[in-house]
Structure 1
């Protein structure tokens, strides 16, 4: 396929996305209304609307009432054209868990569920995907949030050893013929947190988690973009050179007499490198009263004028899932081909 053909296809996909966004924003509209909103010609919009109507991605509502001119067809975006299955994998102290939510293209919840297990492995996740697709054949994408570092669709560092070095993303994509997104839990949490702030301009923020039975982790957005690093290792704050072994770090994190000092040093490193607007704390080891104490520890290393706002993240589970849903809907804008793949 030559470059001219590639460019033509790219332009067509971009124009289709302009039309989709216009109809999603307007809720419903005519061909001329879409053309005005997108800046595309009426003829181009007409062709795209017909194509999307044929696939079922658009719905025709009928004819708009005319004020004297030729009646125009009225279109609406079909938010139930396909579904997304969002799965969160958690590593608890005593057990593992899978939380799932099935949403439509508007991010509206269609179904949700939760299960606990002594062990979570690729087979258990695949079994859940099997069940969800069997129940909802409209599922065309699967998004999975995991506690660990993910690089090129493979988990290379995690508290759940069974998931390490398994090509989970590629396996599910090939077996089920769906688009798959595999992402670190803290990246998703900070993304959900950032989106909920509704900033007027791009900001730099972080979320740090301190969970019982686990090492700490962080998610970072720099100037409105997730910072993953060259090998997606960014945010693995348990590897900071704190002058102690991992075993000693784990002990101090779980000791209330040393927790605040260690957490303060960890956050100070984030502040010195990122200079964030805000840091949100989460995890079972953090209590409301800890926020002030940790901030005081940070002030031992960071000048007051450079200190970010430090807050306790309310409802982190909801923020995490919101981040997974939002990121998936946005990332699928150009990558997912909205066609029937299974019959």
Structure 2
């Protein structure tokens, strides 16, 4: 028990040091001691272990007010990496973007290409090369429009990967955690993290329309994604509201504002979000205003719907994927919940 507690405390203290490096990649033992509250002796002992594991590099020495020079330590932001693969539609063409991010969320590799048909092993060659180039990859994150539960993909715009073979293939091949994130969930989380202050939490609903596939919604409540039972929350295309989203004329502003206004009114009556972020290539400020007016009218003027039209889906999506991947990498640093 004593050994276990000692190991636990050591990891807790290492996490304190890691958190300091995440905000400032270089530091001295004295600075780390001041920020963490740990003694300089304890910090030096932990730094020695982290240097041996290559998590921290030893830098140059700097003067310290006439005393002995202080050694600068630099955190190895490549100590753990994430490989991220996510799909989206642009100009009515399906695209796949592949990135590798380090522990600081910086993209060190990024490539985008057309990818019409996805099979369960479509990314083997790409990931083989990435694992060779970046051997510290410790998580694979897939972002796709669909629903996953317990490793089984149930609802997906790429039917050839439905079932459990897709995620199982990559878990068995690379022996690292593999996570699946719904596309709009990632995008709305990316939007939230970039635009909402933590001190004033909000409820935000993001909805994506891309003409080629059915729309989907992502819900963030006070900073956390709400996925509901079986991760089904946000599958708005199955709502029984007599709208065929694949046949609607997206060039008709009246038809679009009526349909989306109805959708937002229904969601507002259930969730009442602070903001709706609508991703599309057909909604401008005028149509967004019409949608807002329609939704307000349908709620008998009892709820003021705030709509934000955005064409930054891919970028918000990317930022959300990076955040989810970093959470897994950071969790791998811990020996406790």
Moved more, 99-108 or 8-17: 8-17
Residue pair 2:151, 2:167 contacting (<8 A) in 1 also = yes
Which residue in the other structure is 1:239 paired with?
238
Does 2:192 correspond to 1:175? Answer: no
How far apart are the structure 1 equivalents of 2:67 and 2:215?
A: 65
**Aligned pairs for 1:144-293 within 5 A:** 144-199=142-197, 200-242=199-241, 244=242, 248-252=244-248, 256=252, 258-293=255-290
Alpha-carbon distance, 1:91 to partner = 5.9
> Judging changes above 3 Å, is the alpha-carbon distance between structure 1 residues 306 and 331 closer, same or farther for their aligned structure 2 residues?
farther
Is the deviation greater in 129-138 or in 99-108?
129-138
Structure 1 residues 298-330: Cα deviation after superposition (integer angstroms, max 9, x where no partner)? 012235563242111142211111111122113
Measured in 1, the distance between the counterparts of 2:135 and 2:190 equals: 27
> Structure 2: how far apart are the matches of 1:303 and 1:168?
46
TM-score, normalised on structure 1? Answer: 0.87
The question of whether the paired residues in 2 share the 8 Å contact of 1:212 and 1:285 is answered with no
Distance 1:179 1:6, change over 3 A: farther
- Contact map agreement 1:61 1:73 (CA 8 A) in 2: yes
Classify the secondary structure of the residue corresponding to 2:11. helix
Q: 103, 117, 131: which is aligned to 1:119?
A: 117
- Residues matched between the structures, number: 333
1:153-197: CA deviation from partner (whole Å, max 9, x where unpaired): 332111110121134334313311233221110110001000111
- 2:293 corresponds to 1:296: yes
Aligned-residue CA RMSD in angstroms? 2.6
What SS is found at the alignment partner of 1:49?
Answer: helix
Q: Give the secondary structure class of the aligned counterpart of 1:319.
A: helix
Which residue of the partner structure matches residue 341 of structure 1? none
Q: Which residue of the partner structure matches residue 78 of structure 1? A: 76
Please state if 1:48 is matched with 2:77.
no
State how far apart, in whole Å, the 2-side matches of 1:182 and 1:321 are: 14
Q: Secondary structure at the match of 1:299?
A: helix
**Aligned position for 1:104:** 102
Q: Which runs of 5+ in 1 are unaligned?
A: 339-343
Compared with structure 1, are the counterparts of its residues 67 and 118 closer, same or farther at alpha carbon in structure 2 (3 Å cutoff)?
A: closer
Cα distance change of structure 1 residues 136 and 75 upon mapping to structure 2, 3 Å threshold: same
How far did residue 95 of structure 1 move?
5.2
**Which segments of 5 or more consecutive residues in structure 2 lack a partner in the other structure?**
none
Offset of residue 7 of structure 1? 5.8
